[in-house]
Structure 1
Amino acid sequence: MAKILQCYFIILSACILLCSIATGEETSYMKTSELKRRQLIRKKLTHFRVYWHDVVSGTNPTSVPIVRPKNFTGFGQINMIDNLLTTEPQLSSKVVGKAQGFYGLASQEEIGLLMAMNFVFTHGKYNGSTITIMGRNAIFNKVREMPVIGGSGLFRFASGYAQAKTHSFDLKNGDATVEYDVYVTHY
């Protein structure tokens, strides 16, 4: 009988909690917010193209290994990045921000990277705003698509995708320039 009463109490408590959530009553740890219909209609789509400069050579690299692999394939290597984002493929063109985060060689069969980075904008309308990109980057594919999983500032509630295309890669020093076409929906 005691077990039946315990089960009844648990079910009753769950029902009360669900009813309070459904009716909008607040609890000490949860609040429900309603987005107004006009806010949903005001959702924007922003497209931008930037060039990502991965500099591994020289005296001031923007990409450095923090974990080195224990095998010849490179699997397991992780690089921390603070790469410039420019408006044109030349490193000397206008800087609009930085890509900060890391990438790691996450595939044993091919060169497939796990990318986790924030595009931090430092100029123009989006100065101080960020978007977060996290996904798989099979660098030998002509076009790679990765999801935009969030953002801050003017990109709050961001979602979307980024398409990466290698613009140039220097076989001698390992430096690369990658074109990123990014499509972001946000409020």
Structure 2
Amino acid sequence: MMTMAPQVHGQINPEDQSPKVVELWLKKLGHVKHKKLTKLHFYFHDTLSGNNPTAVEVAQANITSKSPTLFGIVNVMDDPLTVGPEPASKIVGFAQGFYASASQQDVGLLMTLNFVFTDGKYNGSTLSILGQNHVFHNYRELPILGGSGVFRLARGIATAKTYAFNATTGDAIVEYHVIVMHY
């Protein structure tokens, strides 16, 4: 028989990490009023195939090819961030960093990256992400640990949801909702 852990004040249900639930949770925090709260929405295009990939493999362990989760593989990325899910949609920045398959039981990536904004009022600003991304879960929550420019001293949450995935090529389009507190 499964028992449920008691709900701790301020916690969200780990089964529901949708952008709206995360935003409601964040608004309940008292210190939000002393900082700016910015919401962003964009799409991340991770392309491993073709003549101009935006993510490339740079390392893998000896056991990676035998692992169902590709455990030990490391990719570096410079993925465009766009307004819409279409590849030709307006680019607002890039996701630059790396991700590694860090789970033997699930396709779970350790992601270390910056969202580097190149357009509009956030041009030249960045948000730094470090977190675990279980790519086959409906919603994934990645912590924002800092930023630069407009986003100095940033803290927040980036919620990811796969929009499209090609199992043959590994190419993916991921929808991001970002809620970030900054000064």
How does the TM-score come out when normalised to structure 2? 0.79
**Alpha-carbon offset, residue 41 of structure 1:** 5.6
Q: Which has the larger radius of gyration?
A: 1
| Map of 1:20 onto structure 2 | none
Q: CA deviation at 1:94?
A: 0.5
Matches within 5 A, 1:93-104: 93-104=89-100
What are the within-5 Å matches in structure 2 for residues 32-47 of structure 1? 43-47=35-39
Q: Which of 152, 155, 161 is the equivalent residue of 2:157?
A: 161
Secondary structure of 1:185's match? strand
Match of 2:121 in 1: 125
In 2, distance between residues paired with 1:41 and 1:111?
38
Cα distance in structure 2, aligned partners of 1:160 and 1:95? 22
Task: Provide the rounded CA distance (Å) in 2 between the counterparts of 1:145 and 1:158.
Answer: 16
- Match of 1:43, as an amino acid? K
Within 2, Cα distance between the matches of 1:184 and 1:146? 12
Q: Could you tell me which residue of structure 2 aligns to residue 116 of structure 1?
A: 112
Ranges of 4+ aligned residues in structure 1 off by more than 3 Å: none
Q: Greater share of helix residues, 1 or 2?
A: 1
Q: Which residue among 46, 50, 54 is the counterpart of 1:58? A: 50
SS at match of 1:154: helix
SS of corresponding position for 2:167 = coil
For residues 18-62 of structure 1, give each alpha carbon's deviation from its aligned partner in whole angstroms, at most 9, with x where no partner exists: xxxxxxxxxxxxxxxxxxxxxx96510000111000000001100
Higher relative contact order (CA 8 A, sep 6+): 2
The CA RMSD measured in Å over matched residues stands at: 1.1
Provide the residue aligned with 1:90 in structure 2.
Answer: 86
Number of residues of Structure 1 aligned to a counterpart in Structure 2: 148
Check if 1:179 corresponds to 2:175: yes
Q: Cα offset for 1:69?
A: 3.1
Among 84, 103, 111, which residue is 1:107 paired with? 103
SS at match of 1:83: strand
Tell me the distance in 1 between the aligned counterparts of 2:158 and 2:123.
19
Tell me how far 1:172 sits from its aligned partner. 2.1
Map of 1:24 onto structure 2:
none
Q: Which runs of 5+ in 2 are unaligned?
A: 1-31
C-alpha separation in 2, matches of 1:104 and 1:171: 18
CA–CA separation in structure 1 for the residues paired with 2:40 and 2:172: 20
